Amino acid sequence: MTEIRDIFIGKKRLHAYVGAVCNAMGSGDRNIRLVARGRSIQMAVDVAEVCRRRAGIIAGTLPEMVIHDVSISTEQVERRDGSGTSNVSCIKIHMEGTGEMNNKEEE
C-alpha cells in the first residue's frame, strides 16, 4: 500500500478541495485522507461525497472512488490567547481511487 496523502480541509470553497483531490489523483496519489477539525467537518464530508458520487464525471478524477475508513476523535488544541487548551472534534476520511485517469484534454 502506498503512503496516504493528507488534504487538510478549512474555510475555502467546496470545489477548491475537490480540485485538490483531483490534483492529487493526477499526480499519482491514489490514497487520500481528508482531515478536518471543528466547523470544517461538514465541509470534509461534503468533499468526500462529491468526489465519491461524481467520480469519473469530474475532469481529472478516477472512475471509482471508495471511502475506506472514517475515524473521529477529539484533539486538545492550545487556545490562541494562551490561556490553556480546548477540545476540538476531528474527522479523518480515507479515500482510494481506482482505475485509469480521465483525460478530457485529449478530446
CB 77 within 8 A of CB 86: yes
Structural domain of residue 42, as residue ranges? Answer: 5-100
Q: With bands split at pLDDT 50, 70 and 90, how would you rate the model's confidence at 106? A: very low
Closest of 45, 26, 37 to residue 95, by C-alpha: 45
In a domain, 30, yes or no: yes
Q: What's 48's domain CATH number? A: 3.30.110.20
In a domain, 59, yes or no: yes
Q: Kindly report, residue by residue over 32-60, the tens digit of the pLDDT.
A: 999 999 999 999 999 999 988 887 666 55
90 vs 98: CA distance, rounded Å: 27
pLDDT of residue 76: 94
Q: With bands split at pLDDT 50, 70 and 90, how would you rate the model's confidence at 102? A: low
Please report, in angstroms and rounded to a whole number, the separation of the first and last CA atoms in the chain: 33
pLDDT of residue 105: 46
In a domain, 105, yes or no: no
Query: Does an H or E element contain 17, and which?
Result: helix 14-26
CB 34 within 8 A of CB 95: yes
| Tally of domains within the chain | 1
In a domain, 106, yes or no: no
SS3 content of the chain, % helix, strand, coil (to 5): 30, 35, 35
C-alpha cell recorded at residue 6: 493528507
Q: Kindly report, residue by residue over 71-89, the tens digit of the pLDDT.
A: 999 999 998 898 999 999 9
Residue with cell 500500500: 1
